[in-house]
Amino acid sequence: MEKKTPKPDSMPLPTAPAVEFNAAPATQGMQLFGLDESALVEVVASFGEPAYRARQIADGLYRQRLEALDEFTTLPLALRQQLQAAGWSIGRPRIAQVFTAADRTERYLVEVNNGQTVETVWMPESDGGEDGEDDAGGDTVRRSTICVSSQIGCAVNCQFCLTARLGLTRNLTAGEIAGQVVSVLARHSLTPETDRINLVFMGMGEPFLNYGNFIAAVRLLVEQVGISARRMTVSTSGILPGIERFAAEPAALRPRLAISLNAPSNQVRDRLMPINRKWPIGQLMDALRRMELRAHERITFEYVLLGGVTDQPAHAVELARLVRRAGLPAKVNLIAWNPGPGVPYATPDAAQVEAFKQSLIAAGVPAYLRKPRGRDIFAACGQLKRTVELSGINAPASAPA
Ligand code: SAH
Ligand code: SF4
């Protein structure tokens, strides 16, 4: 397939983004990556092999990050050949293209099964918005945040979000969700035991509309890859049944929760996020109040500031009242709207953003401003839409009509 370097699109680019292409065939057949240990036990048992072989395969998939069956040298050659002959492959999602921003953020086009693509973002050093910790010491621990997609596209149709323009193609499997993380860890030679890795399920898609696969991916990431659920945050637009299921998960398998509030009232939220007409703010707050939080755990409310639409002083007053009345341990993460072609909103004025934040703090609501990351390569919040398509470049999935 012929690959071309993307032309810069209409966004101003501080520096020309670096683009890497990695060509390889799409995966076919049955994938081992994504199976948990009990499923792997069944696979090896079908070849008459004992359960400890499953542990060896899990180790190779999730900790050694092996990418081909013939690299699994702890397994007998005969078993590797039998697996291959039966149609098994590793099938870990593959980083097909890399866009590098001026701030070192990397946006990946990740190829999943059937050659379809999603986006994953890697941000060196957390901006503190997710973990809210002040642990930036002079040590040598490498900190980074990986932003993971849960669906190809999204059906929720928030008016300000570029991903919404894609509509929904399909849910990702647990292996396709967890595999984004493992591929990024492998690319940067990161180890959860020694490096500080935060995960945010804030890429393309609505995790709580793909609940089973999302939570199975969390389980793999906790139990097999070794990342604590306390280092993960899942963001939802407010899918009430998902929040209720999530609240019932065991603490060790439950990431922190962020709610995309984005408006100070039902009146404004109805317009920006049509999902609010189904599950309005009051119902969301009730569900959140029923949730049993861990010690020191806070709910994050994300609030996208749309210039002239949600960034006015009166909105800040209304938002502070709403959050305080909810009576929850909570904080607000403010995100200045990131532009996207054809999305009819304006980036808020910087002074207005600061005033908004100060107004919340003055009203007793902890508020943080999320730094935009990788805006120049369309990697920032709400900008994930396989930008190769936006700039007129053939996406790997562009099939003949
Ligand atoms: N679908 C989930 C998770 C992904 S979106 C959700 O909506 O919560 C992650 C965050 O980006 C959400 O809080 C969303 O409100 C925000 N967002 C969407 N479009 C944006 C844009 N253009 N600029 C800034 N933030 C945006
Ligand atoms: Fe979907 Fe989240 Fe974008 Fe809304 S903001 S359209 S839920 S990805």
**Protein residue with its CA nearest to atom 20 in ligand 1:** 382
Active site residue: 67, 106, 111, 119, which one? 119
For residue 154, indicate whether it is catalytic.
Answer: no
Ligand 2 closest atom vs CA 162: 3
pLDDT of residue 17: 40
pLDDT of residue 140: 58
User: Ligand 1 in contact with 236 (CB < 6 A)?
Assistant: yes
pLDDT of residue 21: 55
User: Ligand 2 in contact with 161 (CB < 6 A)?
Assistant: yes
User: Ligand 1 in contact with 206 (CB < 6 A)?
Assistant: yes
SS3 string, the chain, reads CCCCCCCCCCCCCCCCCEEEECCCCCCCCEECCCCCHHHHHHHHHCCCCCCHHHHHHHHHHHHCCCCCHHHCCCCCHHHHHHHHHCCEECCCCEEEEEEECCCCCEEEEEECHHHCEEEEEEEECCCCCCCCCCCCCCCCCCEEEEECCCEEECCCCCCCCCHHHHCEEEECCHHHHHHHHHHHHHHCCCCCCCCEEEEEECCCCCHHHCHHHHHHHHHHHHHHHCCCHHHEEEEECCCHHHHHHHHCCCHHHCCEEEEECCCCCHHHHHHHCHHHHCCCHHHHHHHHHHCCCCCCCCEEEEEEECCCCCCCHHHHHHHHHHHHHHCCCEEEEEEECCCCCCCCCCCCCHHHHHHHHHHHHHCCCCEEEECCCCHHHCCCCCCCCCHHHHCCCCCCCCCCC
pLDDT of residue 41: 98
Write down all domains in the chain, each with its CATH number in brackets.
37-85 (1.10.150.530), 93-377 (3.20.20.70)
Pocket probe for ligand 1: among 120, 151, 161, 284, the residue whose CB has the most ligand atoms within 8 Å is: 161
Residues in the chain predicted with pLDDT less than 70, given as ranges, are 1-28, 126-141, 386-401
For residue 158, indicate whether it is catalytic.
Answer: no
pLDDT of residue 126: 52
pLDDT of residue 1: 37
What is the Å distance from ligand 1's center to 164 Cα? 10
pLDDT of residue 386: 59
